[in-house]
Amino acid sequence: MTPLVALALSIGLLGGIATALYMKVGLAIWAGFIAMFVGLIELMPRPLIRLYVRVQPYGLANSYGLFAVMTTQRPEIIIEGSDDGVTWKPYEFKYKPGDVNRPPPIIGPHMPRLDWQMWFAALGHYGNNPWLAALMDRLTEGSPDVLRLFAHNPFPDVPPRYVRARVFDYHFTDMKTRRETGAWWRRTEIGDYAQIHERNP
């Protein structure tokens, strides 16, 4: 065996050992994290618990992230316009839920920014989302740049006099309901999200 071959085998062996160790530590970290997250740490094998306890202080894995805790409800803001304050027409977004009969679109890898922001706004409070007030004002003005962000304009001739935002809780329908009604979603009204915006005369 030449020195070069021996060196290559040694590097390969060390790499294999390092990979196995890395996988073992990684498994311990993630298994421990998941077990702690769901409250099953006592069901883990003792050697795995000991390994987890030793490496956990180094912060090699944690719950940090955009979705460290996933929401279990789906509030959606529906923006509507009206000419008389009685009859309201929805502004349908291109991607986020609105019309209960519209199936969820496949959008990846595109990230529709307005639809994404609307979801975050629904999880919070109107006062923390001043951009939404500006959006509603632009709708009363009939701004072409803003209207392009929507699937269609329910007021193609004259902008609405009033614009409002309401919140609904959305859930997927079951297969039976979908077959019978064609509805992909069922929704329950939660209430008003924002005050009514009126077009300047």
**pLDDT computed for residue 8 by the predictor:** 46
* Tokens 């309901």 belong to residue: 177
* Tokens 């614009």 belong to residue: 163
**pLDDT computed for residue 106 by the predictor:** 84
- Give the ranges where the chain is alpha helix by DSSP (H): 3-38, 46-55, 113-123, 130-141, 144-147, 175-181
**pLDDT computed for residue 19 by the predictor:** 55
Contacts of 168 (CB under 8 A, 6+ apart): 75, 76, 78, 187, 188, 189, 190
Give the number of other CB atoms < 10 A from CB of residue 8.
11
Beta bridge partners of 171: 186
pLDDT tens-digit profile, the chain (201 residues): 565 545 444 555 555 555 555 555 556 555 655 555 545 556 667 777 777 778 777 776 665 566 666 778 899 999 999 999 999 999 999 999 999 999 998 887 778 889 989 998 999 899 999 999 999 999 999 999 999 999 999 999 999 999 999 999 999 999 999 999 999 999 999 999 998 999 887
- Cα–Cα distance between 63 and 47 in angstroms, integer? 23
* 63-115 residue pLDDT tens: 556 666 677 889 999 999 999 999 999 999 999 999 999 999 888 777 888 99
